[in-house]
Amino acid sequence: TGHLIGEENRGLEYMFIMMNAARFAVGMQGVGISDRAYQKAVAYAKDRVQSRPVDGSAKQPVAIIQHPDVRRMLATMRGLTEASRALAYVAAAHCDIAHRHPDEAKRVEHQAIYEYLVPIVKGWSTELSIDVTSLGVQVHGGMGFIEETGAAQYYRDARILSIYEGTTAIQANDLIGRKTVRDGGKVAKSLLAGVAATI
């Protein structure tokens, strides 16, 4: 037995409310798994002693966090994670304003911005999580493939995120086809103007 939920002939519209929430949540999973992989890699790099410093500053092996390439990887992991988190926070703020602002016109404006950002949060954050967790395995070196470290598990967990609730290509199609074209790029231009003003 089927029961009508909401108004007749608005099911697809309702479904996309649910899908946007799910896509945003998956994007946040990408942020979370990236941060956890980063934390794990930093802890390992502080503990793992191997090789002398390339600058000759010590004659004994040092913790690998002192090696330039390890520092580069950790900085990349941190930078990508912080960027994806910041993007998600901006989107969440627009969602909050869309639901709470007393002015209806402002609610509509912020809802449009939130909806525009959702496929970016989902697609970009999940793709980055694959890169970040892969770097986490690299920081661990050969130990990254040994289950007791947990580094490889983060990579496996991240790999599915760019697939479910709409693959990255689906997010791109949504961003361009539904979110940018439908208003002639108005929201996109508004966001870019805001970025330019900040810069």
Is-contact 55 173, C-beta < 8 A? no
- Return the DSSP state at 49: B
| Residue 109 annotated in active site | no
CA pair distance 84, 32, nearest whole angstrom: 10
Give bridge partners of residue 141 from the DSSP assignment.
none
What are the residues facing 49 on neighbouring strands?
63
Residue 70 burial (10 A CB sphere; 0-12, 13-18, 19+):
buried
> In degrees to the nearest 10, what's the CA dihedral of 86, 149, 45, 30?
-10
Q: What region does 6 belong to: left with phi over 0, alpha with psi -120 to 50, or beta?
A: left
Quick check: helix, strand or coil at residue 63? Answer: strand
Residue of 7, 13, 148, 165 marked active site: 165
Question: How many Å apart are CA 24 and CA 42, to the nearest integer?
Answer: 27
The residues annotated with a catalytic role in the active site are: 165
